[in-house]
Amino acid sequence: MYQRIRYDLNQELIKISESGLYKEERVILTDQKPEIKVAYPVDAPPKKVLNFCSNNYLGLANHPRLIEAAHQALDHYGFGLASVRFICGTQDVHKRLEKKIAEFYGTEDAILYSSCFDANGGLFESFLGTEDAIVTDALNHASIIDGIRLCKARRFIYDHSDMKSLETVLKRAREGVDIWSGPGLSKEPVPARNVLIATDGVFSMDGDIANLKGIVTLAKEYDAVVMVDDSHATGFFGKRGRGSMEYCGVMGEVDIITSTLGKAMGGASGGFTTGRKEIIEILRQKSRPYLFSNTLAPVIAATSIAAFELLDESDHLRKQLMDNTAYFRKEMTALGFDIEKGVH
C-alpha cells in the first residue's frame, strides 16, 4: 500500500533537489555564539566559522546570567509539567512571565504559547468568523498565513506595505464587496462585522519595517483592529527595545501583538500574544494551541523573565547591536556590496 505514495514522495524530493531548494542541516558542535564549530556534511571534520545567520540578536543564547537563571529554575521547578495550562500546567512562573510581557509592552494582558507560530495559528479563529474580515500584507510570515487559513473569516490581501492598496481593501471589506451572506441566502454584499489588519512589524525575509503609523491611521478611519507579529523586533528595536511599535511611534495603539522568546530574548523557544484584555481572555478560553498543547517549560519561562529584566536594567546590548550594525553596513558598502537601506 505504501509503494504508490513512496514513488510520489521520491518524485517530489527529486523536484525539490533539482530546483535547488533541498534543505540540509548543518550540525553545530558548540553553543550558539558569533564563532561556532560546524560539521558539514555531518561526517566532515568540524571547522570554525563566523555565524551571521542566527536570530540571536543580543547574544543572550549563552549569556551567563540566563544560564544561571536556567539552572536555578531547573532545581526549583523541575523539567516539565506534563499538562496543558488549564488542568495542572500553570505555575507561578508562567503568570509572572505573562505579567512581565504585558508590562514590557504597556499592554493589558498576555498569554504564553509554545512558539509564535502557535500564537499566530491560534489567534484568528478564536474570535473571528464568517461575518468578519482579515486584511493581510502580501509578505506576511507563513505563521500568519496559516493562522488565517484556519479561520473562517473572509480574507483580503493588500500589496506589501502599500497604504493605498490597504485603504482600497479596507473599503471593500467595510462595504461588503466579496462578502456574501451565505450559501442559499441573498447575494447582496454584506459589510464585515469586524475587520482585522494583520502585519509583520519587521518582515522576516527582507528586513523592511511595516508602516505602522499609516496602518494605525487607516485602522482608526475604518474601525479596524490591528495585529502585529513583532518576532524580529522584540527586545532590540526602538529606543528601549519595545519593538516596531516603539520604533514607529504607535505604542498603545496596536490591539494585538504576537512575538517570540526564541530570537533576541534568549533563543530557546516559546511565544506569546499580548494586547487588549478581552482578546487575551478569549484566547485562554478558545485558542486551540493553548488549550491542547503542553505548557511552556518552566525553565524557559523563568529564564525569559531574566532576559526581560536584563533589558529593563540596561540598553547596553541593544546599543552594541546598533553599533555593530552600522559598522557592518559601512564596511560592506565600502567593499562594493549593495546593502538594503535601513538601520538594522
Q: In the prediction, which pLDDT does 189 show?
A: 74
Q: In the prediction, which pLDDT does 43 show?
A: 83
Residue 232 among the catalytic residues:
yes
C-alpha grid cell for residue 236?
Answer: 532590540
pLDDT by residue (tens digit) across 140-181?
999 999 999 999 999 999 999 999 999 999 999 998 866 544
Least confident of 156-165, 182-191, 229-238, 267-276: 182-191
For residues 295-316, give the mean pLDDT.
Answer: 96
User: Is-cis flag, bond preceding 45, omega within 30?
Assistant: no
C-alpha dihedral (38, 39, 41, 45), degrees to nearest 10: 130
Q: What's the mean per-residue pLDDT of the chain?
A: 93
Question: In angstroms, rounded to a whole number, what is the distance separating the alpha carbons of residues 309 and 60?
Answer: 12
Question: In angstroms, rounded to a whole number, what is the distance separating the alpha carbons of residues 146 and 152?
Answer: 12
Q: With contact defined as beta carbons under 8 Å apart, do 112 and 94 qualify?
A: yes
C-alpha grid cell for residue 9?
Answer: 514522495
Q: In the prediction, which pLDDT does 183 show?
A: 52
Top-level class of domain 75-310: alpha beta
Residue 186's pLDDT band, with cuts at 50, 70 and 90, is low
Report the sign of the C-alpha dihedral through residues 73, 74, 75, 77, in that order.
Answer: positive
| pTM (predicted TM-score) | 0.93
pLDDT by residue (tens digit) across 98-139?
999 999 999 999 999 999 999 999 999 999 999 999 999 999
Is the pLDDT confidence value at 80 over 70? Answer: yes
List where CATH 3.40.640.10 sits in the chain.
75-310
Q: In the prediction, which pLDDT does 180 show?
A: 47
Q: In the prediction, which pLDDT does 181 show?
A: 46
Q: Name the residue with higher pLDDT: 41 or 222.
A: 222
Bridge partners of 259, per DSSP, are: 272
Tell me which of 54, 165, 181, 204 is the catalytic residue: 204
Q: In the prediction, which pLDDT does 40 show?
A: 86
Q: At 193, give phi and psi (nearest 5°).
A: -65, -55
For residues 51-79, give the mean pLDDT.
Answer: 96
Tell me which of 63, 94, 141, 263 is the catalytic residue: 263
Q: In the prediction, which pLDDT does 121 show?
A: 97
Question: In angstroms, rounded to a whole number, what is the distance separating the alpha carbons of residues 173 and 138?
Answer: 16
Contacts of 15 (CB under 8 A, 6+ apart): none
Residue 204 among the catalytic residues:
yes
Tell me which of 63, 100, 141, 232 is the catalytic residue: 232
Strands 27-28 and 35-39: antiparallel
Of all residues in the chain, the percent with pLDDT exceeding 90 is 88
Q: Which amino acid, one-letter code, is at 40?
A: Y
For residues 257-275, give the mean pLDDT.
Answer: 96
Q: In the prediction, which pLDDT does 149 show?
A: 96
Residue 160 among the catalytic residues:
no
